[in-house]
Amino acid sequence: MALQNVLDEAVSAKDAPFLVGMTANAQGVTWSGAAGEAAPGRPAATDTVFRIFSMTKAVGSTAAMILIDRGELDFDTPVEEVLPEFADMRVLDGWDGDTPVLRAPKSKATARHLATHTSGLEYEFWNAGPGQYMEKTGAVSILSGLKASMFYPMMTDPGTRWGYGPSIDWLGLMVEKISGKRIDAFLKENLFEPLGMSDTDVEVRDHMAPRLAGVKARGEDGQFGDFELAPPSDPEVYGMGHALYSTPEDYMKFLRMFLNRGALNGHRVLSEQGVARMLENHMGPLTFEKMVTVAPPVTADFDPFPGTTKTHSFGFMRNEADIPGMRRAGSQSWAGVLNSHYWFDPTSDLAAVIMTQSLPFVEPRWMKTYEAFERSAYAT
C-alpha cells in the first residue's frame, strides 16, 4: 500500500530512523503501519512509547477547554487573576551591557494568549532573546522542570505577535489552580481514562518502559547517532508544553475525539459547542509566523505550507485554506520536537499521525516524507 511504501522508503533512505503511521476517521482506525526498529531488536509498532514533547500542548489546552466548557474559566481570563505570580512577568526591552532592560507588559496576558502562543513567551530555539537572557543571567531552561524556569521574560507584549514558547506550561498551572488537582491527576480523570489512553502519562510507567523508543540525532556526517533527550522526571512542574509520553494508538484516540465532536466510545469529554469553539481561529487579526531556527542541530526553520495563511485555534495550528491534494481549510495540527507529527481534518473526516524520535526537527528530508505520507493518506 502507498502509505506503507512511504514509511519503508523513508527508513531505507535514512530520512528517519524508524516510523509509525496511522490514519483514522470518526468511526475508527483506517490504516496503520510501521518501519524500522524503535530500539535495538524491537520493531516499531503502533504501541511504541514516544516522548511526544509539544504534542503535549494540545492536551494541556484541552484540559483548559474542559474548564471553559464547565464555566470555570474564560478564554479572556487574565493569567494573573488565577496565578498572581504571573503579574511579576516583564518584557525584555533590550540590554544595558550584560544587564537586561525589563519593563511591564502593555497588556495583560490571558488564557487565550497562552493557548495561541501570543503571550510574548518564546523558546530559545527560535528566538535568540531567551537564550541570551539565560546565558547572561544564569536563568534555567524550561526542560529543567523547575518552576523558576517559567519566569524568563516576554519577548513582546501579549497579543501583538505569534511567538512559540512555554505558554502552555502556564495554562496547565491555571488548570491546576482552578481544579485543585495536579495536572497529571486532572488529565487522567478527565481525559485519559474516559478516552482509554492507558499508555499516556507524565512518567514512563512500568507497563510502558519495555516499549519506549530510542532517540536519534543526525550528526555532521549525515548519519543518525544515539541521543539522550527526555522530559525531566519528577519535576516541580509537569509542563504542559512537553511533559507527556504516549503512543500512536493513544494519541489517535485523542484526535478521534475531536472528529467525534467531543466524545469517543460513549464517553464525552467536551460538549459539541465546546469543540466548535476550541477549533475556531483564536488569534484575531494575527497569523502564524515562520519559525526561524537559532539552533540548527535541534531544529530547522518551520514554515508549513508557505504562502498560505495559518492561524491558531485554542489547541492547534489551524490552516485557513485548502491545500490541493492534502488537508482542507479548518484542519488542525502540530508536532513534537523529536518529529512526532499529527493533523486532523474535520471536513474530510481524517486524522493522521506520522511519528519517529529524531533531530533535527522538521529537517527537509523529514518534511518530504511527511508530505508524501499526507498525499498518500488523501489519495487512498
Q: Decide: helix, strand or coil at residue 286.
A: coil
Mean pLDDT of the chain: 97
Q: Which three cell numbers stand for residue 251?
A: 494519541
Residue type present at position 165: G
pLDDT digits (tens, 9 = 90+) for 22-51: 999 999 999 999 999 999 999 999 999 999
Whether the pLDDT of residue 2 is over 70: the answer is yes
User: Which of these, 246, 282, 254, lies nearest to 351 by C-alpha position?
Assistant: 254
Q: Which residues of 174-192 are buried (b: 16+ CB within 10 A; e: fewer)?
A: bbbebbeeebbebbbebbb
- pLDDT confidence of residue 44: 98
Q: Decide: helix, strand or coil at residue 102.
A: strand
- Decide: 79 and 172 in contact? Cβ < 8 Å: no
Report strand pairing: 358-359 vs 216-218.
Answer: parallel
- pLDDT confidence of residue 380: 82
Residue 120 makes CB contacts below 8 A (sequence gap 6+) with 91, 105, 109, 113, 154, 155, 156, 157, 158, 160, 161, 163
pLDDT digits (tens, 9 = 90+) for 95-136: 999 999 999 999 999 999 999 999 999 999 999 999 999 999
DSSP letter at 231 equals P
Residue 1: band (very low, low, confident or very high) from pLDDT cuts 50, 70, 90: low
pTM above 0.95, yes or no: yes
Give the number of residues written for the chain: 380
Beta strand ranges found along the chain (DSSP E): 19-24, 29-35, 37-39, 42-43, 50-51, 91-96, 99-103, 216-218, 224-226, 245-246, 263-264, 267-268, 310-312, 317-319, 332-336, 340-345, 350-355, 358-359
The catalytic site residues sit at 54, 57, 164
DSSP letter at 194 equals H
